[in-house]
Every structure is written in C-alpha cells, then in structure tokens.
A and B are shown apart, each in its own frame.
Chain A
Amino acid sequence: MFQNILLATDGSKYATYAAEAVLGLVKEFQNKDREIILLHVSDTPPTRSQLMQADLDVQSVLREKAGKAVASTEQKFAEADVAYTLEVALGDPADGIVDFAKTNDIDLIIIGSRGLGAVGSVLLGSVSRRVAHEAPCPVMIVK
C-alpha cells in the first residue's frame, strides 16, 4: 500500500523532521517489536444499568461498547495476522486520544480525516483537527 511515498520538503527544520519520520517509519515497520494499539474513546458515559450489571467496572462496559464499535477493524487485523491491543477511554474523543498518547509514550498517531459525523465537504473532522493540533507526537491523517 505504501510503495511510493512522497516526502514534500522545503528544506526547513520541520521538513527535516518529516524526513526523519519517513526514515524512522520505514525502519520501524520491519521491526518486530513495534506495538500497535487500537484506541476507542467512548463519548457518552455508560448507563446506570450497564454500570450496575458490570459491578461498577467502567472499563469492562467500555470494552464491550468498543468491541461492537471496532469489530470490523479487529477483524481486519486478525485476517492480516497483525497483533494489536485494544484500549478504551471515556470522555471527549480528541482529549482521550491526546491524553493516551501523552501518558503512553506513543510515537505516531494514525487517524482518519473524517469520522462518523462526516457531513458535507469539510476536509477534517473535529477530532482529527484537534488531535493534529494537540498531539505530543507526529500525526498521520489518512484520507
């Protein structure tokens, strides 16, 4: 999928960072130690009955919800035989993604340009825009 990669550069120091990132990426993806984490952030708190049923274990409720939301993604990973871990969080999605990246030493975030709320011809969704702004690491926005 990533045969021909275009690195756009103006010779600035930021473009140099981008060049280093390309080299890093090429190297990392041959590296068996890399870890892939799927993160799903739940926007709405669990209902009372979900919480009661789970004995106030919020994580388990979120995992169940996330499992449904990202089932097709998990399937893709399983088919490609790529190992991953599923993580969940509760709160504003952009905050959740950025916080997770900060606290877990994430080196690269990959997100879609639009999401479920896609309407009209806006280029970037609100989550991808905020993540691009606030992330502590490089962000790859996939169109």
Chain B
Amino acid sequence: MLKQVHELRNSWFSNLRLDILAGITVALALIPESIAFSIIAGVDPMVGLYASFCIAVTIAFVGGRPGMISGATGAMALLMITLVANHGLEYLLAATVLTGIIQIVCGLLKLGRFISFIPHAVMLGFVNALAILIFMAQIPYFVGEGWLVYGLIAATLGIIYGLPRLTKAVPSALVAIIVITTLSVAMGFGVQTVGDMGHITRAFPVFALPNIELSLQTLMIILPYSLTLALVGMLESLLTASIVDEMTHTKSDKNREIRGQGIANTITGFFGGMAGCAMIGQSVINVKSGGRGRLSSLVAGLFLIFLILVLGDVVMMIPMAALVGVMIMVSVGTFDWQSITNLRRVPIPDTLVMVSTVAVVVYTHDLAKGVAVGVILSAIIFGWKIAKITMAEELLADGTKRYSVQGQLFFASTSKFVNAFDVLGDPERVIIDFSDSHVWDHSAVNAIARILQKYKKAGKDIAMVGLNAASEKIINDIGVDAPSGH
C-alpha cells in the first residue's frame, strides 16, 4: 500500500515544475498537427483537437509510458480518409470506439510483442507511403493558388527549418504559424484559412454515443478500419515508447500502454474525437523540455483545451498555407530517405515489397491495402526463398551413402526432400546429414519418418546425424517410428 502511494507520487509529482513547463510546450506543438490531420482525414478541425485533448488527458492516467505524448496523428488520420468520405463522421467515431476496444483486448492478452513481426520492407513501404500521402493531401491547398500562397508556404518552411539554427527554445512550427497568421491578418491577404475548413467551437467536448445504427452491417463497415487503426496505433505507440525509454533511461509497461491507448481511444470516440496514438515528435519535444512524469501529458491536454477555449477565433484565422508548410515538414521528416540511398544495397525482393506497398497505397489512397499487399508479397517471397532446399549425395570410403540436406525442412520443401532418396539403388548403409538444415514442422517429421520406414523395409541401415537441438526435439516429440498419415 505504502509502496503504491510512493509509486503514484513518483510518477505524478516527482518532477512538478519541469512537467508543467514541458506540458505547455507540447500543447503548443499539438495545435498545428491536430488541425492539419483533421483536415487530412476530412473532418472538422475540432475532431482532431478534441482527440488530442481527450487522449493526452486519459493517457496521463492509464498509459504505461509516463512522459510519452499521444494525440491525433497523421498515421491514423490517413487510415480514416475513405471511411469519412464514404460514410461520414459518426462512423469514424464508432470506428474509434471499436479501435479502442480492440486495443484494450490486445493489451489484456499481452499481444504487444507480436507487433514487430510485420516484415521490415512492408514497414518501410508503409512509412514512405505515409509521407507521400501526407504530401499529396497538401496539393489541393496550393496547386494553382497563386504566388501569394506559394510565398506564404515558402516563408513557413523558411522559418521551420531556419529558426532552429538560431534557437531551439520554441517549437519552430508554432512560431512559423504565428508569424504567417499575424502577417496574413495584418496585411489582409484574404487567403484560405482554417475557418474555411470548418468551425472551431470554443467549448469542451461533450459525451455522446456515435449516431449510427447498431447492426452487423455497420460493424462490417467499421471493423476493417478499426483493425488497421488498432494495429498502426499499437505499432506507433510501441516505437515511440522504445524511444522514450531510451531517452529517460527507464522502462515502460508495454501492455499497459496498449491497454491505455485503447481506453483513451474509446473515451475519445465518445467525446467526438478521432482515433489517435503516440506521437514521436511531440514525445521527443516533451522529454527534451524536461517532461518525465504523467503530469506532463495531463498538462499538455488541459493547456490545449484552454488554448482552444481562449484562442479559438484566432485559430480560425490561421492561413491554410501555414499548415501546408507544417505538413510538408512532417512529410519530409516521415519519409525514410535512407531507404532510397540504400536501394542498391538492399536485396531486390525487399525493394520489390517496399515499392509495391508504396505503389498500392499511393494508387488506392488506402494504407491498409498497401500493408496487406506488402505482407502477402513478403510471405510469398519468404516461402519461395525458404522452400528451396538442396540435397547433396556422396559415397563415403566405407561404402556408406551420405545425403546432406541444405535448407529449411517444412511442409513446402518436404516433397523435394523425399524425392531425393533412391531407396532401392542405395547401398546397405545410409546416413542423412542435417547439419545445414532445420526441421520445422509435422510435415517435415512425417517425411523423415516415411524415408526411415522405406529404408527399414528394404532392410537397410539408416541413421540421422547433425540434427540441431530444436530439430531433435520436434522429431522426438512427434516421433518417427510410427508415422501418422502417409
């Protein structure tokens, strides 16, 4: 009991002053992206702002990684575009609640560690597609908008990339937005603003059930979206948590974090916000500003809603050009440039997977489809690569025939294995050398059993050598004396 009180105090109040200051900095950094990602998803800016508020506040209490910041993110926003376009906001809110429920279940079942099973090339493709989509989502806001808009975007980018050379004390994206907004209002530029995209309501979010028909049909519409949202949200959150772990020299509770993300998304959906997840950029800002405890996330959320309540009208004056500049920065920062420079060194199949993932996403505007294609392609390539075994045969000095297996022995490679043996033509003594092989599954063990049987029937001696421990274990577990089903 005393230990729990101590822990509670530690994770909340051990770093009071810095947590509050860092939280305020983070709140400022949350505004531009929350608005911009709402616009990408095709919803009112408030949906993203409410999401960041609800998620940041909830995660402060239920998260597993103190000091990490979560909110509305680009990776999640991009997954929602088609749902919003085809079915509207209420379906997005329902999908958000369902995303949360899926994540809660995953957290309870401790599924976090399986997330890194996604093939690396697919992940690369996903990230690059994400960057390209964020960029493409900006195109309608500047192409053909005239030199004034181009100039404002260029000025925004100039401040974003130039200011950090002078000072890192303030988030440069926010300064850019303030400067460009002030300029545009003062000079009466009359360019497109956030206000033209939707309304900034200066009010707290209110609880409401998503206005949808509770039916199987609805479920089938939102489930695919919720599944991908849940997956991407968990992945992003675990990636970010590992970075925060390293920066703070502390360990996070991964499954508690996933469950926490789930709780946060469920609550957010009921309060009119879109699904979100951990934010790498904002978390790094938080830790670098000294934020370590749960309080930093709580302050970030509270200060964000305070800013909206007080400054809502000002937010509506932000020119879209400034947000476009911020999003171009996000896009450039998201793209994995190394994957281009590495192109010549990476095996061709991996590049193929990465490029197909990107191509499918960019063509369909659907990250989930791209990931699915990437995973299937990886699986096929993997299977094709791994199902290749070579069988070498050699007649030893003492008249023994030795078969050497090279490669992975499993259901897809057993037929080649079985066909290599010439039971009748072989001498009296035969050995199979598994030194360069691994026996993986039931089919493989059965195939071995079949071969052993055949040699025994022919009255010949057969022995196996060079089995590694794992292969030996599976063979012993299943048994090769009495093959099942042949």
Contact = CB atoms under 8 A, between A and B. Distances in A.
Given A47-B338, A49-B120, A49-B338, A91 B242 contact: no
Contact of A58 (B124, B127, B243, B280): B243
Given A45-B280, A45-B284, A52 B246 contact: no
Interface in A38-72: 45-53, 55-59, 62
Contacts of B284: 45
Contacts of B123: 48-49, 52
A127 interface: no
A22 to B, nearest CB: 33
Query: Main SS of chain B's interface residues?
Result: helix
A50 B328 CA distance: 22
Nearest to A45: B243
Contact of A91 (B239, B280, B288): B288
B336 A48 contact: yes
B238 interface: yes
Contacts of A51: 239, 242-243
Nearest to B240: A45
Nearest to B127: A48
A90 interface: yes
B73 to A, nearest CB: 12
Contacts of B464: none
Interface string B100-131: 00000000000000001010100110010000
Interface string B230-250: 000000001100110111010
Nearest to A43: B288
Most B-side CB within 10 Å, residue of A47, A55, A58, A59: A47
Contact of A56 (B124, B242, B280): B242
Given A45-B284, A90-B246, A52 B336 contact: no
A106 to B, nearest CB: 15
B444 interface: no
A48 B235 CA distance: 10
A92 interface: yes
B287 interface: yes
Contacts of A49: 120, 123-124, 127, 336, 338-339
Interface in B164-188: none
Assign chain A's interface to a size class: 20 to 34
A56 B238 contact: yes
B444 to A, nearest CB: 27
Contacts of A48: 123, 127, 239, 280, 336
A59 B246 contact: yes
Nearest to A92: B288
Nearest to A62: B246
A99 B243 CA distance: 17
A84 B245 CA distance: 26
Query: Main SS of chain A's interface residues?
Result: helix
Nearest to A42: B246
Interface string A81-95: 000000001111001
A112 B368 CA distance: 49
B120 A52 contact: yes
A45 B336 CA distance: 13
B127 A56 contact: no
A52 B116 contact: yes
Nearest to A59: B246
Contact of B239 (A56, A90, A92): A56
Contacts of A95: 288
B247 A90 contact: yes
Contacts of A57: 242
A58 B123 CA distance: 17
Nearest to B119: A52
Contacts of A103: 249
A57 B124 CA distance: 17
Nearest to A53: B120
A45 B120 CA distance: 18
Contacts of A99: 249
B125 to A, nearest CB: 10
Interface string B178-203: 00000000000000000000000000
A90 B243 contact: yes
A58 B242 contact: yes
A7 B415 CA distance: 81
B127 to A, nearest CB: 5
Interface of B: 116, 118, 120, 123-124, 127, 238-239, 242-243, 245-247, 249, 280, 284, 287-288, 336, 338-339
18 contacts: A45-B247, A46-B243, A47-B127, A48-B127, A48-B280, A48-B336, A49-B120, A49-B123, A51-B239, A52-B123, A52-B239, A56-B242, A58-B242, A89-B246, A90-B243, A91-B287, A92-B288, A95-B288
Given A49-B339, A89-B246, A91-B287, 5 more contacts: A45-B243, A48-B123, A48-B239, A53-B120, A90-B247
